[in-house]
Structure 1
C-alpha cells in the first residue's frame, strides 16, 4: 500500500509540473544601438518573437545576444531591412535606418 501511495504522489507531481505554463524564451545577452541623434540604448535578454522599437531609428546596431536579430524599416516589425544580424555581430545603417527589431 505504501508503494502505491508513493507512485500516486509521484505521478501527481509529474502531472502538476507538466501542466505549468512555460516561460517565454529570451535571447541571452544584450542588444546595443546608437540612434540617429547619437544616443546609446540597450535591451537585456530580449524576448524572442517580440517587436522592439528602436527610438528615433538606429545608425548602429550591436547584436550581443545568442539569437538572430532582424531589423525592420518600420515601427511594427513588418518590413525587413537587409540581412538579419547573426549572434554577436554588428551592423551600420544609413538611409533608411531600422526602427524596430525582433529576435528569433
Structure 2
C-alpha cells in the first residue's frame, strides 16, 4: 500500500512539473530578443520590458498576461503560432 501511495505521489508530481517542448521567443519594446527554451508548464515567466511580438514554438498553449505575475488581461497563443501585440504589451507568460 505504501508503494502505491508513493507511486501515485510521484506520478502526480511528474505530470505537474512537465516542460513544454520547444522555444517561446519574443522581442521586447527595446528590440531585444529573448528565448524561453522548454519552459515549465504552470510557471509564470517575466517578459522583460514587455513583449512587442512573440512566437510560441512549443507543444503547449502559452497565455500572455498584461501584468507581471501572470495577472490582468490575457491572450492565449496556441502551439506554433506567432503574434504582434498592439496596444498594451504583455509582461508575463504561462504555459500549459
Q: TM-score, normalised by structure 1?
A: 0.78
Aligned to 1:95: 87
**Which structure is higher in strand share?**
2
C-alpha RMSD of matched pairs (Å): 1.9
Shift of 1:19: 6.2
Indicate which of 60, 68, 87 corresponds to 2:61.
68
Q: TM-score, normalised by structure 2?
A: 0.84
Does the 8 Å CA contact 1:50/1:103 hold for their aligned counterparts?
yes
1:65-101 Cα distance to aligned partner (Å, 9 max, x none): 000000000001011333x000010110122000000
Aligned length: 91
Q: Which runs of 4+ in 1 moved over 2 A?
A: 19-23
Larger radius of gyration: 1
1:28 and 2:29 aligned: no
Q: Which runs of 5+ in 1 are unaligned?
A: 1-11
Q: Which runs of 5+ in 2 are unaligned?
A: none
